[in-house]
Amino acid sequence: MKKHITEADLTQLVSVTNPQYSPDGKRLAYVQTEVNKELDAYDAQIMVYDFEKQKSVQWTFEKGRNQHPRWSPDGSNLVFTSNRDETEQVYLLNINGGEATKLTNIPHGVSQPIWSPDGTQLLCSVRLTKDESATDKQKQKLKDDQPVEIDTISYKVDGQGLKRGAYTQLVLINRETGEVRQLTNHERDHHSYTFSPCGKKIAFCANMMKLSGARVSDVYIMTLATGEIKRVTTQSGAFSSLSYSPDGQQLAFLGHQQEFKNATIQKAWLYNVNDNNLQCLTEMFDVHLSDVVISDSLIGGELPHPIWTKDSKGFYTVGTDNGSTGIYYISTEGLVYPIRIEKEHLNGFCLHPDETGFVAAIALPVWPSELYHISFDGIIKRLTNANQAFVEGHMISEPEEIQFETKDGLTIHGWLIKPTQYEKEKTYPLILQIHGGPHVMYGHTYFHEFQVLTAQGHAVIYVNPRGSHGYGQDFVNRVRGDYGGADYEDIMGAVNYVLQQYDFIDQSRIGVTGGSYGGFMTNWIVSHSNKFKAAVTQRSISNWISFYGVSDIGYFFTKWQVGADLFDDFEYLWDRSPLKYVDQVETPLLILHGERDDRCPIEQGEQLFTALKKRGKEVKLIRFPNASHNLSRNGHPKQRTKRLQYMTDWFKTYL
């Protein structure tokens, strides 16, 4: 008999991600991540699917995170990273078996190795301060009471904490000797790196602007023999995901020129190595080329760089559209067409070496992530069954798509999930879910939190209001400068639409919750409407004025998104702050906040709690020690479970 889904069931979910074909196409390496209940952590293991035997075999067994598998060019070895010895290091496995060999012993830890074309070297990244070197035998130890010197505006990152002057540098590791060669030493982060097919050059992304706080990411090419660096983009955009064509003549990457700041749709670009020509291939294509679907069932996903065809005439990449993610082909002449775009969350893929098909990691609304082989003639086969036991053992409610028109002519798209044991003639409470970002997207994917709520007898509605990705450039840009305006109307309009269309909803029992931007909107809603009988605000924003100086992104986000700088229009920021309107709040409010949230720092929740409590309002604050902004997605399993329990208990009490 199938069971109801509970908060604790999130520990049963398995993440299947990062598929990588072997060069001969006979094997497929991937990462399988599960909860380690004993350690209150996650174990990620390297799995290998054998196409001849049609089954998967586990290749790593050490506890911790074994991830980022990459086959050697000749297919004889597989490298991966592992934190089994405290710091993350590179390990090598021979396909004929045996124990993994530790290739690096860098005290700072090593990330994301990629092979040189000849298989003799590995290009990796290491976090170092200006006083450290990748060849150091010991890492500088910092005491908790040691002062931290700060001289840059970007001095902390959510989930990482204080940077302490450390930046991501690139290093080469000799496959045979383990010798380390540090390639970069600028006080800047270097990322999205790749080898040229000849192996004589690498390309990478970095922000080399001297202006403190400049938000750019340029593409650079380095000649390995001399260390000479050449910039190929314009110091005005944000680029990443680099990939050389097989003939070495072209470099493809994704990004934009920040025409709409961080609300700009990501496009495909092409740099011609020979004539030094840079062009945007998808200028007229109104689809965001990345995966921005928000979910709480995936751990450790990794988006592939553009994947070229052998003839160097085009490449494949992921795109986000209308609640779905899929694969698009883009030719070097700028022709774009979808290879696969279904009602699903395709969160990673790899192309078969003979280019007859691909393997994709796909999550469905009623089935968490698995690997699927999809041939170009349309035949699809599921390769893994990591979540089969969970799916077959639980009652999972299938979302129903909804859409309605706004007063100004936009179409708002979303979903309604009925209670798991829905019965006609009965009425049920409704819970509105609001996503963060705001430039992400709810989609056709499994969302555990929603299933927990429906299992407890609630209906759940979630929509993509203006500001969400997936519906074109104009749509995603419309929220900027109007937080709490038309976006508020979109969200409230969704609730009104559902109340009109579905008579099983008890209009006297409606709740609302959301995190980050969704937390801001939850705060805004309860301070501007008494429609809701219970609310849970998570990792929220209540005061744009203080947010400016305490968030890791506040110094630019406030201007780019809310539409005003602290010193240009103080009153406007205060007018858009929910804290200003606390006297109007009548809805019982639960505040959930991580104490190490550097994106929306906990002082945002504290201010709101204090103001409401002082006025005698019904409010409670729950603090999660050491939790960052991503608590609900990749925080400690026990805290994630407890967070869900606090939420469901609040709705049980007040709905």
- Does residue 303 surpass a pLDDT of 90? no
Query: According to the model, what pLDDT value does residue 643 have?
Result: 98
- Does residue 477 surpass a pLDDT of 90? yes
Q: How does DSSP assign 223-279, residue by residue?
A: ETTT--EEE-S-SSSEEEEEEE-TTSSEEEEEEE--TTGGGPPPEEEEEETTTTEEE
Structure tokens at 642: 């407890």
Query: According to the model, what pLDDT value does residue 506 have?
Result: 98
128-132, 143-147, 352-356, 376-380: segment of lowest average pLDDT: 143-147
Report domain extents, the chain.
7-137+153-390, 397-654
Task: Calculate mean pLDDT across residues 224-246.
Answer: 97
- Does residue 86 surpass a pLDDT of 90? no
Structure tokens at 21: 């074909």
> How far apart are alpha carbons 281 and 267 in whole angstroms?
7
Catalytic residue among 191, 345, 373, 629: 629
Q: Is 529 a catalytic residue?
A: no
Query: According to the model, what pLDDT value does residue 36 have?
Result: 97
pLDDT range class, residue 130, cuts 50, 70, 90: confident
Query: According to the model, what pLDDT value does residue 142 have?
Result: 67
Task: Calculate mean pLDDT across residues 313-319.
Answer: 98
Query: According to the model, what pLDDT value does residue 451 have?
Result: 98
Question: Within 13 Å of residue 287, how many CA atoms lie on the same side as its CB?
Answer: 25
DSSP state letter for 493:
H
Q: Is 205 exposed, middle or buried (0-12, 13-18, 19+ CB in 10 A)?
A: buried
DSSP state letter for 283:
T
Query: According to the model, what pLDDT value does residue 393 have?
Result: 98
Taking each continuous run of H as one helix and of E as one strand, the counts in the chain are 11, 38
- Does residue 244 surpass a pLDDT of 70? yes
Q: Count the Cβ atoms, other than its own, within 10 Å of residue 52.
A: 7
DSSP state letter for 537:
E
Indicate left, alpha or beta for 64 from its phi (over 0: left) and psi (-120 to 50: alpha). left
Query: According to the model, what pLDDT value does residue 136 have?
Result: 84
State pLDDT tens for residues 175-199: 999 899 999 999 999 999 999 999 9
Share of the chain above pLDDT 90, in %: 93
Task: Calculate mean pLDDT across residues 254-266.
Answer: 98
Catalytic residue among 82, 324, 468, 516: 516
The residues near 502 (Cβ < 8 Å, ≥ 6 apart) are 416, 459
State pLDDT tens for residues 48-83: 999 999 999 999 999 999 999 999 999 999 999 999
Task: Calculate mean pLDDT across residues 322-341.
Answer: 97
Q: Which CATH superfamily is domain 7-137+153-390 in?
A: TolB, C-terminal domain (2.120.10.30)
Predicted model pTM: 0.97
State pLDDT tens for residues 548-591: 999 999 999 999 999 999 999 999 999 999 999 999 999 999 99
**CATH architecture assigned to 397-654:** 3-Layer(aba) Sandwich (3.40)
> How far apart are alpha carbons 445 and 443 in whole angstroms?
6
- Does residue 212 surpass a pLDDT of 70? no
Using only C-alpha atoms, the chain has a radius of gyration, in whole angstroms, of 25
Strands 619-624 and 238-244, sheet pairing: unpaired
pLDDT range class, residue 606, cuts 50, 70, 90: very high
Torsion of CA 501, 502, 507, 513, to 10 degrees: -90
Structure tokens at 539: 């990792």
pLDDT range class, residue 108, cuts 50, 70, 90: confident
- Does residue 134 surpass a pLDDT of 90? no
Q: Is 629 a catalytic residue?
A: yes
Query: According to the model, what pLDDT value does residue 617 have?
Result: 98
Burial annotation 475-495 (CB, 10 A radius, 16+ → b, else e):
bbbbbbebbbebbbbbbbbbb
Q: Mean pLDDT score of the chain, rounded to an integer?
A: 96
One-letter amino acid identity for 264?
T
Query: According to the model, what pLDDT value does residue 250 have?
Result: 98
Nearest to 483 by CA among 545, 409, 573: 573
Query: According to the model, what pLDDT value does residue 482 have?
Result: 98
> How far apart are alpha carbons 161 and 531 in whole angstroms?
38
The residues near 123 (Cβ < 8 Å, ≥ 6 apart) are 113, 114, 116, 170, 171, 172, 173, 193, 195, 202
Same topology for domains 7-137+153-390 and 397-654, yes or no?
no
pLDDT range class, residue 210, cuts 50, 70, 90: confident
